[in-house]
Structure 1
Amino acid sequence: MLLVNDHLLKQAWPGFVTGKLSDVAGLVAAPALVALLFWRRADLAATVLTGVLFALVKTTETGAEAASHVWTLVAGPSRVLADPTDLLALPALALAWWVRRRSLESGSSRWRVVVTMPLAVLAVTATSAAPMPTARSVDVDGDRITVQVTSGVTRVSEDGGATWSESYDSPPEGRPSPQSAACVPRQATRCYRLVKDRMAVEQSDDGGRTWEPSWAMSQGDSERMARRYSGIPGQSSMGLAVQARPGGHVVVVANGLDGILVRDVSGQWQRLGWPGGTEEPAAEVDLTLEFIVAIFLAACMLFGGVGAGLRRFHLAYMIFASAACLGLFTMLISASAPASSTTEAFMPSLSWSELVPLIGGSVLVTVVGVLVSFVLACTGRARGAHVAVGLVAAPLVFAGVYTPFYGWSQGAPGPYWVAVALAVLLTGLVVLAGALLIRHDARRRSYLDGSSTSRPT
């Protein structure tokens, strides 16, 4: 019921019935999952705990906020709303208790737990995931500004956008489509309009004959948003309204997935996000490709350091080490392609039925390459100093590659190309330091062996 209702019925018929079906099915499945957390079988405690937690989440804002954070960690960006009417589903716990008694009478086997638990966890976490909220339109009614949000929780301001509060009022029937342009009341020469397919606003001082940029999201922020919400509508400004205020006017923009944008009476633009209530969960920037590249280069550094210290079998080691690194890269790329917008570009036309053999083959190549490289390193008597350089430099290379991109995902540095330059610089420094250490060790050994007549520099 959870899987069918949340992935099919809710999309076709959103409303009271499908919402309560999720609560009923969740309360039937949850006690059995909670019981697995106890060291000894404690079905009664698990059932009571499920009911108490459900009641706290549905009747208190604190409980709903805590549940939102927990489900975001488990299932991705989620929003749990307090709704006392959901307590109507509590009798479903009696059904869960009845199922528990039937399972005891039939002699529940371990294999049933192994088979059904992953499906139950998938269903429960699937029902918690909520679509990302999107600010889609702005309405002005006197001193009241209302921003309609797809999550159903609107934002309301009565002081020109300075402060906001949440409202659960349903939007009026027959409300017109979001407006994309508006002029200042009683000042028709100053107008504002949204830029199509962008998060940007233009203004006109001659009644709309000519336009010039007024605000635009920076390139770095646009790239981060594209990574966060790949394929999700709402990555452009969607609605705009202008309100006359003492001392000037304010402009409020429904900025899609970015929330609310406001121009105050002084002319300053501010991205407010989701003010006036529980902060909406923000999706993480997709850094899958950068993570895979960091892993790949770290593996290359590790194998390279070991290979530089070999006394023999250099060619064979190079072949199998290269196979291990390329197999690792192919395995990670193919495994993440269906879920990541950045890695999907490598394999855009492959289905899971085609990816599974590719993943299996790359795993085999990686394992064989690693094992044979290890054997060749042992039989080829790799020098300890070179192995130590590879072991130390590999995590440093990973950090040098990944850290700038992680910082970019958090907003610093701003442009993506700066993160690329920093990653190249840091990785180059680690590789250079490793090469110098290996060269110094080789010269030292050559001097100690008497094969050189000059002292090492």
Structure 2
Amino acid sequence: MRNSALAWLGHPLTVIAVVLLLLNDHLFKPLWPGTVTGKLSDVAGLIVAPLLVNLFICRPRVSVLLTGAAFTLVKTTAIGAALASEAWTLVWGPSQVLADPTDLIALPALYVTWWTWNHPEARAVRLARAVVVIPVTVLAVAATGQVEIVKPYSAYAVDVIDGMIVVATRGGLSAGPAERGYASSDAGSSWLSWVVQVPPLPRTSACVPGQPDRCYRIVPAKLKVEESRNGQWVTAWEISPSDQDRLARAYAPESPEDAEAVASLGIAIQKLPGGYVVVVANGADGIALRDISGAWHRLGWAEKGFDSGSAVSLTAPGRYEDSVPMAALLAALAAGLVALGCGVRRFGFAVAALMLWVGVWSFYSGVNTPILFNPFAVLFAIVLVPVGATSMIVSAVRGATRLRVWAIGTATAAVAYYAIMTPFYAWSAGWLEYYSLASGLSIALGIAAASAGTLAVINLKGPQRGLS
């Protein structure tokens, strides 16, 4: 029976499922995250998991049923997902398994594994394969649940508990606590980790203890605090909207769905001998603190708690996405190729230019992935780029393209690149107030540069050549 169990692992469908599981979790998921790759892992995992269970209990039917029951429990209950996460974390390090009832659509895959048990191959061949497949299968199944997620840090609430300032935060490794706190007993000069139950809704206003007419409140969606004076609300502390926009870009995560607000979210007041301290939770920017003298300070994220020296400087260059220069290069290349195409006016040149552009884009996509690189995209680019470039040159020579056309096409690409990037340079230096304004200007200037180059080629005097 033990030999039969080992042989089950060597079935061709089992080997295919193991390879698919490894490729999907370590290549396809980072490249194309989404429903398809997520469900593919479930299907492949359900095919191979019962085989590993059977190695210990030697009961194929029971192994399949146990796998199906465990999968259903994990995917439909919070406690099942939590237990699975803890188990994988204990064995393989920080891991996260999510409950998702839609994953139950993969349950029919259990029939595939049962079919492989009932339709064996030649025993000697299967046993030889199993020696290699077993360790790879264990690694594949274990690795599919292993994921280390780093969420952006955010201070989302603040309170005064037992005389101490307590700031509730979230973010960090998924294996750690989803929410935690930092406490300070010396008006924010030092901090220590503090596990505490925080209010479900942050306080948006607070009054100084013993002074009901002296209150502070945050302004929603802004980095701004107002205080009551003589029955009126006036600004006590504020970061300008343009500076707030730059700070939001400084904390922009890789995934838009992980973005945390850069805005005042909660406020609390600590009464001290001789005065009081106001603390404001500012989301991804950390906290703002009004000390006992009345001066306001921004405190950024430190190794333990918050520190004024860790706050992002408002005079630092603005941070735009790392993908912007490459996107500008691809757009500029397209502009130059279109201008050249209007001068060459040959169908073969247009096809070759498209091949070159797709090859450059494919290479960029292949080397800028969460994994080291996408070998398929890179190999595709290695083929397309030289073929496209060579075909362009041949087509242009056959069409007796003038040197002036090449000069204008090249100049169009160069001008288009800097036309696209200049607004981002200006925003980064502080000459433009908002990132959205830089993006809009970038698009407008890029189109203008591309259009000017194309019109310059079209208006060149000379004989007209038709498509060939």
TM-score calculated relative to the size of structure 1: 0.51
Give the conservation status (yes or no) of the 8 Å contact 1:179–1:240: yes
Partner in structure 1 of residue 87 of structure 2: 21
Give the conservation status (yes or no) of the 8 Å contact 1:164–1:276: no
Give the conservation status (yes or no) of the 8 Å contact 1:9–1:18: no
Counterpart residue identity of residue 395, structure 2 = L
Q: Distance between the aligned counterparts of 1:409 and 1:20, measured in 2?
A: 44
Structure 1, residues 394-438: CA drift from partner, whole Å, max 9, x if none? 356435523653774697754326635885898699889989x99
Q: Secondary structure at the match of 2:216?
A: strand
CA drift at 1:14: 10
Partner in structure 1 of residue 224 of structure 2: 200
Partner in structure 2 of residue 214 of structure 1: 236
CA RMSD after TM alignment: 5.9
Counterpart residue identity of residue 401, structure 1 = I
> Is the alpha carbon distance of 1:381 and 1:195 closer, same or farther for their aligned partners in structure 2, counting shifts above 3 Å?
same
> Is the alpha carbon distance of 1:247 and 1:432 closer, same or farther for their aligned partners in structure 2, counting shifts above 3 Å?
farther
Counterpart residue identity of residue 219, structure 2 = V
Would you say 1:171 and 2:205 are equivalent positions?
A: no
Give the conservation status (yes or no) of the 8 Å contact 1:155–1:164: no
Would you say 1:154 and 2:191 are equivalent positions?
A: no
Partner in structure 2 of residue 277 of structure 1: 304
Q: Distance between the aligned counterparts of 1:374 and 1:240, measured in 2?
A: 66
Structure 1, residues 332-357: CA drift from partner, whole Å, max 9, x if none? 9xx9xxx9xxxxxxxxxxxxxxxxxx
Give the conservation status (yes or no) of the 8 Å contact 2:346–2:395: no
Q: Distance between the aligned counterparts of 1:259 and 1:292, measured in 2?
A: 31
Q: Secondary structure at the match of 2:195?
A: coil
Q: Secondary structure at the match of 1:228?
A: coil
Q: Distance between the aligned counterparts of 2:433 and 2:128, measured in 1?
A: 59
Structure 1 residues not aligned, in runs of 5+: 30-101, 340-365, 447-457
Give the conservation status (yes or no) of the 8 Å contact 1:262–1:270: yes
Q: Distance between the aligned counterparts of 1:13 and 1:330, measured in 2?
A: 44
Q: Distance between the aligned counterparts of 1:108 and 1:373, measured in 2?
A: 49
Give the conservation status (yes or no) of the 8 Å contact 2:164–2:270: no
Partner in structure 2 of residue 131 of structure 1: 151
Indicate the percent of aligned positions where both proteins have the same amino acid. 27
Match among 298, 304, 309 for residue 332 of structure 2: 298
CA drift at 1:255: 1.7
Q: Secondary structure at the match of 2:132?
A: coil
Give the conservation status (yes or no) of the 8 Å contact 1:393–1:430: yes
Q: Distance between the aligned counterparts of 1:121 and 1:434, measured in 2?
A: 52
Partner in structure 1 of residue 281 of structure 2: 254
CA drift at 1:129: 0.9
Structure 1, residues 188-230: CA drift from partner, whole Å, max 9, x if none? 2221112234443222114xx5323333443335445279264
- Please show how residues 19-168 of structure 1 align to structure 2 within 5 Å: 19-26=85-92, 106=130, 108=132, 124=146, 127-141=147-161, 144-151=164-171, 152-161=179-188, 163-167=189-193
> Is the alpha carbon distance of 1:27 and 1:141 closer, same or farther for their aligned partners in structure 2, counting shifts above 3 Å?
closer
Q: Distance between the aligned counterparts of 2:127 and 2:152, measured in 1?
A: 39
Partner in structure 2 of residue 362 of structure 1: none
Q: Distance between the aligned counterparts of 2:431 and 2:80, measured in 1?
A: 40
Counterpart residue identity of residue 196, structure 2 = P
CA drift at 1:132: 2.6
CA drift at 1:322: 9.3
> Is the alpha carbon distance of 1:177 and 1:306 closer, same or farther for their aligned partners in structure 2, counting shifts above 3 Å?
closer
Q: Distance between the aligned counterparts of 1:307 and 1:105, measured in 2?
A: 56
> Is the alpha carbon distance of 1:118 and 1:322 closer, same or farther for their aligned partners in structure 2, counting shifts above 3 Å?
farther
CA drift at 1:246: 5.7
CA drift at 1:241: 0.5
Partner in structure 2 of residue 449 of structure 1: none
Counterpart residue identity of residue 204, structure 1 = S
TM-score calculated relative to the size of structure 2: 0.50
Q: Secondary structure at the match of 1:22?
A: helix
CA drift at 1:147: 0.5
Give the conservation status (yes or no) of the 8 Å contact 2:341–2:350: no
Partner in structure 2 of residue 381 of structure 1: 400
CA drift at 1:156: 2.1
Q: Distance between the aligned counterparts of 2:289 and 2:410, measured in 1?
A: 52
Of stretches 234-243 and 17-26 in structure 1, the one that deviates more from structure 2 is 17-26
Q: Secondary structure at the match of 1:196?
A: coil
Give the conservation status (yes or no) of the 8 Å contact 2:208–2:271: yes
- Please show how residues 284-323 of structure 1 align to structure 2 within 5 Å: 287=321, 290=324, 294-304=328-338, 306-307=340-341, 310=343, 313-314=344-345, 316=347
CA drift at 1:276: 5.0
